[in-house]
Every structure is written in C-alpha cells, then in structure tokens.
Structure 1
C-alpha cells in the first residue's frame, strides 16, 4: 500500500470519513545562499520529497492530529491555541495565524506523513505549514491566493513556533513549478520562473550527516557583519539600503584595505547575487554546463569568503568535482553541515553514488546518504491513485 493510501486508510479508521489529500513539497535552492536576508535573490525549486496530509472537517471546534510516522497524536481545541513545543505547533501555529487574520476556520482532523529526509535541510517544517494552510483554504472555501497562504505559514513559524526563518522555504514549497526554478527577489517578493531542462540530468543531494552547533551563532554573526558593511558604506553612499544596492567597485574602494573581514563577507554576497543572475541567463539559454560552473563558484565563495562551510561539506564537493558526469556541486543551506546539491548525468549516477560514499567514508569516517530529486509543482491536492 502506498503512502497516500495508508494515510487515507488511517484517516478513515480514526475519523470515519473520507479525507482531502494534500501534497506539500520540500525544496532545494540551486544557487543564492545567505542572500535572502541581504535583500538579494534566491533560486529555489519544489522537489518530489514532500509532506502528505489527509484532512477533513469536524462538526465541533476540536483539533485532532495524527503524526503517522511517529505514531503520536494531538488533541486540542480552537479555544486553546497555545504552543506545545512539539511537532503539533507547526499545525497549530498556522491555524492561529488564520484566526488572527480574521479568517473563519472550525475544527479539523489531520493525519500526515512524508518522504522528506529528516535533518537534510529540505524544509519539512515549511512543507507541513503550507500543507495545513492549503487544506484550511480548500476546506473552508476561504479563496486566499498562494502568496497570502505562504505568508501565513512564515508568520506561524516566526511568531508561534519561534523560528525567525525567511520567506524562501515557504515560497518554494507553495509556488514551485515542475521543470522550473523560481528566481525570487527577496526585497520585493517579485518572482519569475526559469526553465530547468533536466533531460538526462539528476539533482542529487549528498547528506554530510553533520550538523554543527555553530550554525545559529555564526548565522547571526554573518548577518551582523553584512549589516556593518552596509552601515560603513552608507557614510559614502546614503542611498544604500542593503548589500543588494552595493557593487564590487564600492567595496574595493572603501572596505578592501580598511576592513578585510567585512569586505570578504560583503563581497561574497555581491558576487553571489551576480552568480545567480548569470545562472538564470544560462538556464534561459539551456546552458546547464555554465550553470554548473557557477555552482562551484558559489561553494568556493561560501567556503573561503563567507566561511560557512565545514571540512565535511568541502570534502563532498571536492569528491564530486573529480567524478565523471558531474556538472556542478555546492553546499546548500545555512552551512556547517547538511547537504551538498549536485547536478549529475543519469548514466553516471550509480558510479557517482558509489564513489561519494566510499571516498567520503575514507576521508571523514562518516557515512553519507544520497537523495535523488526531481522538480515538481508546489503544494496541491492529490488523489489516492498517485503512487508515493
């Protein structure tokens, strides 16, 4: 029995009704890391690793949730929407935000599960939040557009769960389009789709199986360093609002010799924005080879200029670079662990996986998990006949 059938059966057994089935995907980011909080660009896509939800209305104001994988249940009511500091908060937070925004929602039953690898940095929380928000919109006939829904998801995670995440994860999960990446302007939220023609090429994630505790503190430090660079440059260019407005010429003239550390941080962001724009241009020309080279450049910048990589991520990229059939590779996400993202010719996939696992183990003593992904549509209704 496939996962959707399991969820539907579990829902029917628990609640004696037929559910609405929702698919809400995880995401990858092809290029453009640490640019979001500098009002730059990102290039994410929704993938075929997703959270699946079976949902239905109740006749009362109670909320009954079942985490299928965990074998755990939550029961509560709309009258007492408060953080529990458990998995249920990702659902409760969205419901709370709908009510705070004045949308009329009632009691709800939900059973959910997923195929997103835990701890791989593919935004399972955003997928779950988007999924429940999409379900509320469908079941209660609210008529909200996707942008409104994903903003409610972000608000839920920021204000109810307490994680100060940016907009990219929710945006990619909700707005994804099969065979396309999303060029998202994090300043204006304007977006366009760029084609990603992947005939014969796979997106492969290599999980370092490492998560260093540095990620939160260093994230805050990098953000502060970027803001310090902006403040310094504003004394010469008052019109500057963020690194989005800065050029390399400005940095070279005013920061290179006086503040070398701040210079490196800011230079990475300015260069990464340009790499992303160059990458979109390459995709529009169907030039995946050039795009892959820009991914290598992104990793070089993240490792040596922004200094958010780690030996394990660097090892994965170095090994990938030496393998036949690999077009590009880089670390993905906040850094200090997580996954690398690789573009690999399908005929080279088996040999690539074998060498990555063998050489990574030899160099680090750690195992790596390999996840092959395809780009799919964003959050949507599915039926039980779909195989998951």
Structure 2
C-alpha cells in the first residue's frame, strides 16, 4: 500500500493504522441540506486514504501524495497557521479539541484518488478519514454521524465554507450498493437499496473538469438567500414551507426562486425514494431532469458546460440527467440503460467537441462503502 510506504519514508516508522473515507455523488436533493431538508447521496469508489499514528506533543505533521511537493512534510504546531489543503485535515483536530476531546497530535500521510474538478467532495472525504482515524486512535467513542458532524464543523468554522451536513454524512455512513436517505434536520438516516445493475442501468458521472470563478462566494450567497426567505416567511428553514403557492406570493426575486427550488426539490427526493422502494428505478429519470431545470433556472447554480452535458446525455438516450454538487462546474450524472451507455457517451463527447471544449471524463458510479479502517 503506497500510503504506508510513504509513511515509512516520511516518518521512519510504521503507521498505527490506515483509514479510508469515500467521496460522494448526490443522486437528488441539491442545496436542501442547509435548509434542513432531504438528500439522497451515495458514496463513490474514490476517496481519501490516511495512514496515521498519534503523537503526544500536540504537533500535527502532514504529507499529501497529491501535493505540489509530494515529498514534503508540513509541520503544524499552531493549528490556525495551517494553509491550503492542510486546513481541512487540521480543522478536524481543531473541532475535536473545541468539543473537549483529548486529541493531541498525529503524523499523517494522505493519498487521494477522487477525480480532480469533479465536485465529488474530496474535502469531506479528507475530513471524515482524519476524523475516523482520530476517533479510533484516541478511543473517543463517537458514532459515525458524530464524526460527520465534527468534519462539518471543521469545514464550516475552521475552513470557512458554510456547507451542510450531506457530504460528510455520506462519506461516513454510506453502505455499498445503497443510497443514503438523510433528513438533515433530525439527522435520521437509512440506507436504501440502489442496485442499478439488477435493473439494467448505469449511473454515469460526466466530469466537466471546469470550475468557474463565479463560484467564489456564490454558495454562501445562495445560503443567505434561503435564510432571508425563511425569515420573511416566519419559518425556521425553507423545509418548513407547506403551502408553496402562498409562500411564493409573499416573496420576490432571488428569494422567491430559491424557495421554489428548495421546496420542490424536497418533494422530488421523496418521490425518488418512493420509486426506489417500488423497484421502479428506471422511472426516476424524469425527476432528475426536473431537478436540473430547477437548479438551472430557480437556484441559478448551473453553467454552460453542465447544461450541455445534461442536454447531450438526454439526447443520446439517457433516461434522465442533472448537475450534481454545489454547481458552477464539477459533474453531471446521467441514468442510462446498459445498451445506451456508448451512445450517451458519444453524444456528450461530440457536443463538447463541437464547442471546442476539452473532452469530459465519463465513468460509471457504483455505490460504495463509507468510512472504514483498512488495517
């Protein structure tokens, strides 16, 4: 295992353990998590592996095999001084200490294989891998959801990204062959069978590989729009809107559009769950299409590359497609019958070529297991 070899090279000893946490793709339920809503992600086969040993002196020493200087070890004595990718890892130490856990230091080597620019939440995978390792090494006794909450706090309060709980929860709690149905208010969850092959289907990830500068600050702005809309409506969160028509009549502009997306997206999550329970997996495609249109027009987080990927996939024969993740780039997903996979891939590649864009990466997404100790 190359992460173990790198640990020996960096620190001259064996790691006390190796942990893995996956990235995620969201089947449906986008921008609903921070509105106390419903989501349906699943873990992907790619993620972050961490070889870790504890230290008694409170110092955190890190190395990433994906860093620009892969042989370099970064030593962090003052957690606040950590920079770049290291803040996601160090933030977990900070969050645990803030909550009173007896976490001191550690030596870590990180190896990740999440496709770059795909929006598959490599940051949450890193946080959850580190959190799971520290939970085990220090005997903290946290549940998987508590590890996810610590990881979210690290990203919210230490890194400064106001994300919801979905990414970290999917990385921590997911099960192989299943999607995670999560209520982001109660944190109640259950894993729902999602066996695509049994229904002659595949879910393709179309990685646009693009990230637009427009995204800087836009996620936080969307969250503020939602919070202001909820305040105007007198509810704790947009999840609590029960009469959509009446709510929309009291709002205007961005707040009206954001509310329409969040409320209808929660309904789409429930509808997809119903179809999965009924074994009607092929029928969820229309809901994926509707989700994309809402994200494009009401939440305004799509971009030309995502729109073209979705439109070309449907034109090529996909049963449904939508952007997934925070938006402004990253990936789209397409639900495709086995006998249409090549046609869908060809359609998307041609659409990009016609516009002079770089060829997108396309690969199947198979629901994978959540965070776990490897050795």
Scaled by the length of structure 2, what TM-score is found? 0.91
Q: Tell me the CA shift for residue 149 of structure 1.
A: 1.3
Unaligned ranges ≥5, structure 1: 235-239, 384-388
Q: Within the alignment, does 1:182 sit opposite 2:177 as a pair?
A: no
1:73 aligned residue: 72
1:331 aligned residue: 323
Shift in alpha-carbon separation, 1:323–1:144, aligned structure 2, 3 A: same
Unaligned ranges ≥5, structure 2: none
Say if 2:162 and 2:220, in contact at 8 Å, map to a contact too: no
Shift in alpha-carbon separation, 1:350–1:83, aligned structure 2, 3 A: farther
2:304 aligned residue: 311
Q: 1:362 aligns with which of 350, 354, 369?
A: 354
Shift in alpha-carbon separation, 1:160–1:315, aligned structure 2, 3 A: same
| C-alpha distance after superposition, 1:71-125 (max 9, x if no partner) | 0533435x53223222222221111222222222343221111110122111111
Q: 2:294, 2:73 → 1: CA distance? A: 44
Structure 1 window deviating more from structure 2 (101-110 vs 131-140): it is: 101-110
Q: 2:286 aligns with which of 272, 279, 293?
A: 293
Shift in alpha-carbon separation, 1:91–1:359, aligned structure 2, 3 A: same
Q: Tell me the CA shift for residue 13 of structure 1.
A: 2.9
Shift in alpha-carbon separation, 1:190–1:257, aligned structure 2, 3 A: closer
Q: How is 1:154-233 mapped onto 2 (pairs within 5 angstroms)?
A: 154-199=152-197, 200-233=200-233
Q: How is 1:33-112 mapped onto 2 (pairs within 5 angstroms)?
A: 33-58=30-55, 60-70=57-67, 71-76=70-75, 80-112=78-110
Say if 1:83 and 1:161, in contact at 8 Å, map to a contact too: no
2:140 aligned residue: 142
2:238 aligned residue: 243
Shift in alpha-carbon separation, 1:9–1:260, aligned structure 2, 3 A: closer
Say if 2:91 and 2:154, in contact at 8 Å, map to a contact too: yes
Shift in alpha-carbon separation, 1:363–1:253, aligned structure 2, 3 A: same
Q: Which has the larger radius of gyration?
A: 1
Q: 2:256 aligns with which of 247, 263, 268?
A: 263
Structure 1 window deviating more from structure 2 (271-280 vs 211-220): it is: 211-220
Scaled by the length of structure 1, what TM-score is found? 0.88
Say if 2:33 and 2:39, in contact at 8 Å, map to a contact too: yes
Say if 1:327 and 1:342, in contact at 8 Å, map to a contact too: yes
| C-alpha distance after superposition, 1:136-158 (max 9, x if no partner) | 11122222211221111111112
Q: 2:104, 2:251 → 1: CA distance? A: 59
Shift in alpha-carbon separation, 1:364–1:208, aligned structure 2, 3 A: farther
Q: 2:222, 2:264 → 1: CA distance? A: 16
Q: Tell me the CA shift for residue 254 of structure 1.
A: 5.6
Let me know the Cα RMSD of the aligned residues. Answer: 2.2
Structure 1 window deviating more from structure 2 (173-182 vs 133-142): it is: 133-142
Q: Within the alignment, does 1:23 sit opposite 2:20 as a pair?
A: yes
